[in-house]
Chains A and B, each alone.
Chain A
Amino acid sequence: MSTPTVVCVLLLSKTRKMDPLSNKWIVNLLLCWFFIGVSCNSVEKKIYVHLNYTVPCVRLLNATHQIGCQSSLSGNVGVLHVLESEENLDWVLKTGRNPPYLVILESPLFTRSIMMKLKNGSGRVAGVAVVAPNSNPLEGFSPHTTCPNENTGVYSENYDPTMAHCNVTKWNPLGNGLAYEEFDFPIFSLKDDNETQIIRQCYLDHNRPVNGSTPQYPLCAMQLYSHMSAVTDTATCMRRNDINFSISPEMVCDPLGDYNVWASTRPINNTEKGHKMWQSVVIAAARLDSRSFFFDIAPGAESGASGFVTLLAAAHALRNATQQAQPNRTILYTFFQGETFDYIGSSRMVYDMQNSQFAVDLDNVHSVLEIGQVGLRADSKLWVHSDPVSRRNSSVDEEVAKLIANLKSAANKSNVSVNEPSFSQPLPPSSFQRFLRARPIPGVVLEDHQSAFTNRFYESMYDNAEYLNMSYPPNMTPEEQLEYVTETAKALTEVATTVARALYMQAGGGEPQLSSINADPNIVTRLLYGFLVRSNNSWFQQLLPSDLMSQLANRPTNLYVGVSQQFSEPTLLVQHLLANLTGTTVNATQDDCKNQREDENDKENKHIYYYMWVQGAAPPNSTQREGFCIRSTVRLSKALSPAFDLREYTSKDYSTWTESRWKSIKGRIFLVASHDLEMLTLGVGIAVLLTSFVLTYVISSKADMLFSSGREPTTATY
């Protein structure tokens, strides 16, 4: 940019002195603006290559720690180094002559041992970019801890010391805890495509040491920006959020949270909170969220989607049976948000039930059936986990035994075999633990594993459709894939049927209806496709209101819970899908429907039902969609940790996770000159400046002599 600007200044100053004609002056001025405008862009483009696809790791905070990554305010710059093997780390950490380095990692090298060495790299590491592969690795990888939600489940020292801290079973033995480490440099994920190819080429052309010699400048460098505003812990950042004393008060972090989705088989008045007489509910629960090391990749196929898709299918299977032959008890379908982060959703619902802020309370809860990870069953076995501590109480034990018996008889005649873990083992990480924390409620958790997780990619970016073996025949259009029933879908349909029948019996329904309760494999396969391949498909489009079309995308749904101010993707999708799968079509106008009423005089139904105008499908010969009104019992309830309502930011009982805010997340690559050359340029610049000062001084002091043309004396001007 500098050269054109100098030219402009010269042009302007020349015109002013030489020619008083203003026209010419203006023309020159315009010309200059044009020059500056054009040159700015092109020069920047010549220097930098911006990265289009950047997925950062961001900073999260809890009561005691900060985790995640952080760059400096002006971005971290480092010379590119593509790491070839673990031994190659020596170049980065010791022998390389041009630190700091920005390390490009192929995903097999993204391991705890390498990352921890880089973390302790004493300032020689400017950042890390991980190239995400297009297919999953063979060995397991889980950046989560070995004992998920260790301190906020039911198994504390007071409950049963022998079971605390996963003493009996390490649920996630592959967990390396990377996602809970703190890094003081940025870590980005790059997709393996053309962009990554440019980066590799840039490295090969400029930085690759040949035969151990130091590569010559200019070197290829990368700059990553991910500066995080919050720091230390949740208490600190929430306190700083509240300070509005400064000139520009700025929010630094937001609590993680969203909404739980729930629906009941019998309408429950949602405006009357607290205990409901004569109401006994069976809770059927699943979790909605997941996470990975990186901010916006959280496919959670096995850890999240397998469970909630099964529950959605089961709810759909129960629609007709519960409407025709209503069982004595109400089934409450609940989908908990934020369970990854110390059970945000379930702890909030239990808290609300205890404080009469929910439509029912804990006295109304008869039992809980939770669906955990059920997508990877070995030999079609389904494992029923229960809590050995509360089962020491005979009445609870009796109820749990009944529930297990119901599950077993529901699985009768199907391919699913329901088993109990052979020894007295505590519950795996599950929302049900939060209910047990409040009181000994009978309940079980369904999983596909007997002890440790089957899931080798728990809470990682590889826990995706590919891992669930969702394979489609080649050359299928998206529409054909949507309708194609995969083996995974068939397997989950069996689980959903079992769950639905067990729930029906648990609710007090009779045996004769059981055979009519069947989950639909077509629904299951579409749900899996919608959540794990692309949510922007014709089926989801039909079932959603038109204003939510922007939420649909041509990629897998991101199951990360996100901050409480905005809806996360799965909440909205599950809310509307559940409404469609359990609700009924009513004859109401679009206006009435949107105003939560069936006709103009209807003032009562809005407390009991939720009305939703979905856009529907277009008939064959038309492009205009034909919308209709769905009446359902689906509701949202807040999934914000009670710690934030109680303002107890150092709480040990509730989740305290917050996400830092940031201003920009971006990356770019460019060539850097050597430090000596940079210093030389600066030195020359300063020398020119000083010389011009001296020259000006000399000329001005000798002006009389130099410009003695007999005009007016020059001194008067100054």
Chain B
Amino acid sequence: MNLERMPNEEKLGLCRKYYLGGFAFLPFLWLVNVVWFFREAFVKPTYTEQLQIKTYVKRSALGLLLWVAVLTTWITIFQHFRAEWGEVGDKLSFTIPLGIP
């Protein structure tokens, strides 16, 4: 899909869909939204729907950052303490490395 050839209302609808979709624990939708609509929101000359798109992109970015922060923290904690946690650590793991604790 080429954003350039799309009418502004449809752009807004699409951006909104991605923004709302992100709430279903899909931070990657927010990432796509931010990357995809960044030009539309902040670079293009102003048009009516741009303000709304801007809000969605900003909120998507915020949500994305939150996810990144949460995931990074969790992954760090998990990788660091997995061996110490023993059985719990193994149950939380999908693949267990061979030969190291």
A contacts, CB < 8 Å to B: 70, 73, 227-232, 236, 239-240, 243, 245-247, 250, 252
Contact = CB atoms under 8 A, between A and B. Distances in A.
5 tightest CB-CB pairs across the interface, nearest first? A229-B98, A246-B95, A232-B101, A231-B101, A228-B99
Contacts of B87: 239
B95 A247 contact: yes
Given A70-B99, A243-B96, 16 more contacts: A73-B99, A227-B99, A228-B99, A229-B99, A231-B99, A231-B100, A231-B101, A232-B83, A236-B86, A239-B87, A243-B90, A243-B91, A245-B94, A246-B94, A246-B96, A252-B98
A501 B99 CA distance: 53
A240 B99 contact: no
**Chain A residues touching B, majority SS:** loop
Nearest to A72: B99
Contacts of B95: 246-247
Contact of B96 (A70, A73, A227, A240): A240
Nearest to B83: A232
B99 A239 contact: no
Contacts of B83: 232
A245 B93 CA distance: 9
B64 to A, nearest CB: 29
Interface in B58-101: 83, 86-87, 90-91, 93-96, 98-101
A240 B90 CA distance: 7
A475 B34 CA distance: 88
A236 to B, nearest CB: 7
Chain B interface size, under 10 / 10 to 19 / 20 to 34 / 35 or more: 10 to 19
A228 B86 CA distance: 19
Contacts of B98: 73, 227, 229, 231, 250, 252
10 contacts: A70-B99, A227-B98, A228-B99, A231-B99, A231-B100, A239-B87, A243-B90, A243-B96, A246-B93, A246-B94
A606 to B, nearest CB: 44
Contacts of B93: 246
Contacts of B100: 231
A64 to B, nearest CB: 13
The residue in B91, B94, B96 that gathers the most chain A C-beta atoms within 10 A of its C-beta is: B96
A243 B95 CA distance: 10
A327 to B, nearest CB: 54
A484 to B, nearest CB: 48
Contacts of A240: 90, 96
A250 B91 CA distance: 15
A247 B100 CA distance: 19
A227 B100 CA distance: 10
A58 to B, nearest CB: 12
The residue in B83, B93, B94, B99 that gathers the most chain A C-beta atoms within 10 A of its C-beta is: B99
Nearest to A73: B99
A84 B20 CA distance: 73
A230 B90 CA distance: 13
A239 B95 CA distance: 13
B93 to A, nearest CB: 8
A232 B83 CA distance: 9
A319 to B, nearest CB: 51
A346 B90 CA distance: 34
A246 B90 CA distance: 11
Contacts of A70: 99
Contacts of B94: 245-246
A73 B99 CA distance: 8
Contacts of B90: 236, 239-240, 243
A232 B90 CA distance: 13
A239 B86 CA distance: 10
A194 to B, nearest CB: 33
Contacts of B99: 70, 73, 227-231
